[in-house]
Amino acid sequence: MTFTKKPNELEQSLVQKSLLHRMIKQIRRSLDLQEILTTTVSQVRLFLDVDRVKVYRFNASGSGEVVAESIHEQRLPSLLGLNFPVDDIPEAARQMFVLVGQRSIVDVPNGKIGLSPVKSIESGKHLESNIYYRQVDSCHIQYLKAMGVQSSLVMPILHSDLQEQSAKPKLWGLLVAHHSEPREILKRELKILQEVTDEVGIAIAQSNLLTQAHAKQEREATINRVTTLLHKLPTIQLQRALEQVITAFGGIGGRLYIEQNRELYTWGDQPKLPYQLDNSIIEQHLVWQDWMAECKPGNVWASHDLYKEPRLRVLALGFLSTKIRGLMVIPLHYREKFIGVLSIFRSEFETEVLWAGRCEENRRQVLPQLSFELWREQKKGQSSEWKPEEILLAQALSEHFSMAIEQHQMYKNVQMLNVNLELKVQDKTAELEKSLLLAKVLKQVTEHIRRTLDLQITLQSIVQEVRPLLNSDRVLIFQMKTKSVIVEKINGNWQSALGLNAPPECFPDEYIRLYCQGRIKAINNVSTAALSDCYREFLQSLQVQANLIVPINIGMELWGLLIAHECNAPRNWQDAEIDLLQQLGDQAAIAIQQAQLYEQTCNAETESRNQAAQLEHSLHQLKETQTKLIQIEKMSGLGQLVAGVAHEINNPVNFIYGNLCHASDYAEQLLEILRLYQLHYAHPHSEISTAIKAMDFDFLLEDFPKIITSMQVGTDRIRSIVLSLRNFSRLDEAENKRVDLHEGIDSTLLILEHRLKGNAEFPRIEVIKDYGNIPLVECYAGQMNQVFMNILSNAIDALGMGNGEWGMGNEEMRTGDKRDNQYNRWLILRERSVEVPTIHISTKLSLDKSRLLIQIKDNGSGITEEVKKRIFDPFYTTKPVGKGTGLGLSISYQIIVEKHGGIMECISEPGKGTEFWIEIPIKPLAKKVN
C-alpha cells in the first residue's frame, strides 16, 4: 500500500468524517469487547473497501491470536481463532508500536514498506501523518505472499489503565488490513483509522474496568455469603462455608482443617495418602506440618500443577488417583496464632490451540511462514493459573475464616462460665483477710479470678501478681499430674522452667504425703540446706539459690505446688511472705475447684434438663393413654349397655312377634264366622242390632285386620332396631372377622336417626348412600363402627352449626298453611335455592381390588387449613367447652392407620363442606417379625 493525496479533498474529508462518526458511534454503543471488535473490523473493511480486516491480540506468552475478522466474499482465507508464534512480529517492531505508535504500510509488488510514526521518538511530540519508505525485508514479503496478500496496513492498538493516571500505554494488539491487490491509502484515511484505533483502545480499557468491577462485585458477594455463614454464632456453618468457597474458586474439591481440635471438613474430590505414609490425613503429615510452620500470616500458596512442586513430592502420591491438578493452600492465622489451613483443588483438563501452520522452532529464525494450514496442538494435564484477584479473595477469606473459628472457640469457652460461683469466691476471700496487706494482695488476685473461669488465665494471673509482691526472680506453678511446670513469671534473663519435668527421684512419695497434709517448705540457701544431691543439682540447674514452696490441695488431693524462686542470691523468707504465698495457694485451689464445679454444674444442669424433658414426655403420654382408656371404657360400656338393652327388648318383642301370626289367624277365623252369621241370620235380635250400630261394626271389620298388620310392621321395626344395636355393639366380635361394613354404617345411621330428623329450628338431614359391590372385609368390626360413629356425629354437628340459611325464624314458621313444618322448611329451602343439609356416603373397591375406599362427605361450612392440619391431634377440638373432648377423630385415625394399616385423610375448604377419605385393606397386612 502507498500513501497518496487525491483531489476533492474537502468533499472526501466530509464523507470520511461522517464515516468516522458512524464507526465511533457503533463502537461506543456496546460495552461487550467482542461485539466492539467485531463492529470495528466490519466498519473498517467497508470504509477501506479491502478484502480482509482483522484484530490481532497479543497473549501473555507473547504469541498472538486473531480475535475478530471481516472478509469480503471469501477472497482471502479466514484466520479467525488461529494463533501465531511469538517470532512472527519481532521485538523491535513491537517496541516501535508502543514508543511512537508506528503504522506500517506494505506494498508487496514493489517490495517497499511505509513507516508512519504518530509521535517523534526523540521529543515524544505528535507528528503529522508523514510517511517514509524503505525496502521491506524479503522474509516479510514471502510471509505476505504465502497469505495471498499484495498490500497490508498494520496499526497498533494501545491501551492504558484508566485507574492509574501515570500508567504507560501497553501494546494490546494490532488492527490489520489485507488486500489481494495493490491498494493506496489516503492521508485522511490513515488519520481516521488512527482515531478508530484510539477509540478501540479506550473501549478496551473501559471493558477491562467493567470486567474488574464485575470481578470485584462477585468477590465481595462471595465474601458476604461466606461471612454470613461463618458469623452466625452459635451455629457457625463451616461445612456450607467451605462449599461456597470451593464453588467460588471453580474447584472440584477442598478441605478445611482446624489445628486445635483436629477437625476436618471436606467436600468434593479428596486425596488419599497411601498406608505407607503413616497418616491418612494429609494435614497431620510431618511434611505438611513443617511446611505450614514456615508460612507467615497472610501468605497464600497457589500452584497450577502440584506435581511440579518439590515440597509436595511425597504428598503428591495421594493425588494420583484423582483429577486434581491445581492446588491453593490458605493458612489460617489469628494474631500470629496458627488456626488451621483451607485447601482448594482444581481439576486437570486438556487444551487445544489452533495454530496458523505448524512452526518448527529450530527453523523459525531463518525461514518465513510459508504455510498457514490449520494445525491443532493438544496439551494434556493442564490446569488454569490462579489469578491475582483470586489470591486477593483467598487472603480476605483467610481473615474471615480465622476470625470466625477463633471467635467460635472463644464463644464455647465463655459458655463454661458460671456466675453463681461468685458468692463462694467472696466467702473464701473473706476468710483470708487477716491483715490489710494480705487483703489488698488477695483482692487483686481474686479480681483476676472473678474475671474468668478459665484455669490457665487464672493461674497465669496468680504468678503475675505474686512475683512483684514477693519481688522474686521467678514464680511458677508445678502440676503433680503432668509432673511439669505449667505457668511461670520471670524477672530478668533467667532460664525458663516452663514445661520442664522434674526427675522422679527428687520427689519421693514421702514429700507428696507431707504436701497433702499442708506442708510448706522454705529454703533460704540451696547450697547449705539439707537437701538430697539430686534435688540440689536440679535446683542449681535452674540457677535457683532460694525457694519457697506451698501446696495447692483440693480436698485430700495434692493438685500442684506454688513455688517462688530467688536466683540472684540466697534469701530469708519472712513469715508474712510465707503466709501470703500460702493464701495464694489456697486461691489457686479455689480457682481450680471453681472450674471443676462449673463443669459439674453444667453436666448436672444438662442432665436435669434431659430428665425434665423425659418426664414431661412421659406425663403427656400418660395423659393421652388415660384419656384413650376412658374413651375405650366408655365405648365398651356403651356397647354392653346397648347389647343388654337389645337383649332385654328382644325377648318380649319375639314373644309378641311370634303370637301376632296366630292372633291374625284367629281374627280371620272369628271374622269369617261373623260373616257366616250375617249370611244365615240376616235378621238378628234387636239388642244385637243395636250393639252393631253402636260399635260401627262395618268399620271394625275393616280396621281390625289393619291393626293386626300395623302391629306386625311395628314388631318388625323393633326387631330391626334391636338387630342394629347388636350389630353396632359387636361384643362378640372383638377380634378380626370378615364382616359387611355396610351393616355397620347402616347400624350407626339407625342409632343416629334421632339426630338426623329435623326439628323446629333445623330441617332434616338427608343421607345419600352410594354403596358399591364390596366383599366382606376382615377387620375389627366394633372399632370400625366407632370410626363411623365419630365421623357421622361430627358431620351432624358441622351441619347443625353450619349455614345459617338452614334455620328459619318464628315469623316464617307462623306463615303458610297447616302443612307439616318439616315439609314447609323443605319447600322454603327449595324456593330459596339453598342446598339441603346432606351427608353423602359412598363405598367402592380400589382398582387393584385390594383396598376398600369409603367416602363420607357433608355440605357444611367446611374447615380452614389451620384447623385441618391439627384435626387428628389428640385433645384438639373447635367445639365449645363441654361439647367435645378432641379425641374422637384422633382415636379414629389410630384405628384406621395403626390398627388396620389403612389411610385416613380430611379434604375440606371453607364454604365447600368436609370429606373424610378412608382406605383399609380387604385383608389385614402381615406383621413383620423382628
DSSP-assigned states of every residue in 81-115: T-EE-GGGS-HHHHHHHHHT--EEEEETTTTEEEE
Exposed, middle or buried: residue 183 (CB in 10 Å: 0-12, 13-18, 19+)? buried
Task: Give Cα 331 distance to the centre of its chain.
Answer: 26
Do residues 190 and 48 lie in contact, with contact meaning Cβ atoms separated by under 8 Å? no
Q: Which of 241-245, 645-649, 659-663 holds the top average pLDDT?
A: 241-245
- Whether pLDDT at 504 is above 50: yes
Q: What is the mean pLDDT of residues 248-255?
A: 92
- Whether pLDDT at 240 is above 80: yes
pLDDT-derived band of residue 732, with 50, 70 and 90 as boundaries?
very low
Provide CB contacts within 8 A for 243, sequence distance 6+. Answer: 267
Predicted pLDDT at 638: 57
Provide CB contacts within 8 A for 817, sequence distance 6+. Answer: none
Provide CB contacts within 8 A for 882, sequence distance 6+. Answer: none
Looking at the chain, the number of H-run helices and the number of E-run strands are 23, 29
The Cα–Cα gap between 428 and 418 comes to 17
Predicted pLDDT at 364: 45
Half-sphere exposure of 911 (CA within 13 A, CB side): 0
Cis peptide before 234 (omega within 30 of 0): yes
Q: b/e string for 361-376 if b means 16 or more Cβ within 10 A?
A: eeeeeeebbeebeeee
Predicted pLDDT at 366: 45
pLDDT-derived band of residue 70, with 50, 70 and 90 as boundaries?
very high
Q: Which grid coordinates are listed for 334?
A: 489469628
651 or 774, which is more confident: 774
CA end-to-end distance (rounded Å), the chain:
95
Predicted pLDDT at 612: 81
Q: Which grid coordinates are listed for 930?
A: 423382628
Q: What is the pLDDT of residues 89-108, one digit of tens each?
A: 888 888 888 888 888 888 88
Amino acid 709 reads: T
Amino acid 265 reads: Y
Count the neighbouring beta carbons within 10 Å of the beta carbon of residue 905: 13
Amino acid 912 reads: K
Positive/negative CA dihedral, 397, 398, 401, 407: negative
Do residues 229 and 241 lie in contact, with contact meaning Cβ atoms separated by under 8 Å? yes
Q: What is the pLDDT of residues 525-549, one digit of tens each?
A: 988 888 888 888 888 888 888 999 9
Half-sphere exposure of 503 (CA within 13 A, CB side): 11
Predicted pLDDT at 176: 94
The residue with cell 482483522 is 54
The residue with cell 505457668 is 487
The residue with cell 514471502 is 142
- Looking at 14-28, 213-227, 469-483, 655-669, which range is the least confident one? 14-28
The Cα–Cα gap between 595 and 459 comes to 12
Count the neighbouring beta carbons within 10 Å of the beta carbon of residue 10: 8
The Cα–Cα gap between 523 and 133 comes to 103
Predicted pLDDT at 140: 82
The Cα–Cα gap between 453 and 595 comes to 6
Q: What is the pLDDT of residues 596-630, one digit of tens each?
A: 777 677 788 888 888 888 888 777 777 666 666 66
In percent, how much of the chain has pLDDT > 90?
A: 13
Report which DSSP code applies to 550: E
Do residues 71 and 52 lie in contact, with contact meaning Cβ atoms separated by under 8 Å? yes
In percent, how much of the chain has pLDDT > 70?
A: 78
